Structure 1
Amino acid sequence: MHARFAFGQNSSERTRNTYLKPDIVQQRQYTLDRLDLKRDENALDIGCGPGLLVNEMAKQTGQNGLITGVDPSQPMLEMAEKLCRDQNNTLFQQADAEALPFESAAFDVAVSVQVLEYVHNIDQALLEIHRVLKPGGRALIIDTDWDSLVWNNSDRERMLNALKIWQSHREDSFLPRKLPAKLRQAKLSLSKLSIYPIINTAFSDQDYSYFLAKSICNHLTDHLPSEQINNWFQDLVSKDDQNDYFFSLNRYVFEVIKQP
Structure 2
Amino acid sequence: MLEFGDDEARRLDRSYATSDVVAQRAQTLDMLRLRRGESVLDIGSGPGYLLASIAEAVGPGGSVHGMDPSEAMNALARERCESMPWTTVGTGDALALPFADESFDVAVCTQVYEYVADMPTAVAELRRVLKPGGRAVVLDTDWDSLVWNVADRPLHDRIIDAWEEHLADPRLPRRLAGLLRRGGLEVTDQRVVPLFNPRLHADTFSTTIKETIAAFVPGRRGVTAEDAAAWLADLDARAAEDEYFFSLNRYSFSAVRR
TM-score normalised by length of structure 1? 0.95
- Please state how far the C-alpha of 1:43 moved relative to its aligned partner: 0.6
| Residue 8 of structure 2, aligned match among 6, 11, 30 | 11
Cα offset, 1:258, TM superposition: 0.6
Equivalent position of 1:89 in the other structure? 86
What corresponds to 2:242 in structure 1?
243
- Note the aligned Cα RMSD (angstroms): 1.2
Instruction: Report the AA paired with residue 70 of structure 1.
Output: M
Between the aligned residues of both structures, percent identity stands at: 39
Aligned positions of 1:88-167 closer than 5 A: 88-167=85-164
Q: Hey, what's the Cα distance between the residues in 2 that align with 1:33 and 1:204?
A: 27
Map 1:140-219 to 2 at 5 A. 140-219=137-216
Tell me how far apart the structure 1 counterparts of residues 151 and 226 of structure 2 sit (CA, whole Å).
Answer: 16
Whole-angstrom distance in 1 between the partners of 2:231 and 2:2:
23
- The question of 1:61 aligning with 2:58 is answered yes
Q: Distance in 2 between matches of 1:57 and 1:138?
A: 14
Aligned pairs for 1:28-43 within 5 A? 28-43=25-40
CA drift of 1:83 comes to: 1.5
1:111-166 per-position Cα deviation (integer Å, ceiling 9, x unaligned): 00111001121111110010000111110000001001111111222211110001
CA contact (8 A) 1:203 1:236 kept: no
Mapped pair 1:229 → 2:232: no
Correspondence for 2:17 among 13, 16, 20: 20
Q: Which moved more, 1:202-211 or 1:245-254?
A: 202-211
Stretch deviating more after TM superposition (16-25 or 46-55): 16-25
In structure 1, stretches of 5+ residues that fail to align are: none
Distance 1:155 1:216 in 2: 16
Tell whether the 8 Å contact from 2:15 to 2:209 is kept in structure 1 after alignment.
Answer: no
- CA distance in 2: counterparts of 1:96 and 1:65, whole angstroms: 23
Deviation of residue 225 (structure 1)?
A: 2.7
> Aligned letter for 1:258?
R
SS for the counterpart of 1:174 is coil
TM superposition outliers: structure 1 runs of 4+ over 4 Å: none
Structure 1 Cα separation of the partners of residues 124 and 27 of structure 2: 26
Show the 5 A alignment for 1:43-82: 43-82=40-79
TM-score normalised by length of structure 2: 0.96
CA distance in 2, matches of 1:19, 1:91: 20
User: Number of matched residues?
Assistant: 256
Structure 2 gap segments, 5+ residues each: none
CA shift for structure 1 position 206: 2.1
**Aligned partners of 1:6 and 1:216: how far apart in 2?**
12
Higher mean C-alpha displacement, 42-51 vs 202-211? 202-211
Q: 1:144–1:251: 8 Å Cα contact kept in structure 2? A: yes
Displacement of 1:242: 1.6
Q: Secondary structure at the match of 1:162?
A: helix
SS in 2 for 1:32: helix
What amino acid does structure 2 have at the position aligned with 1:250? N
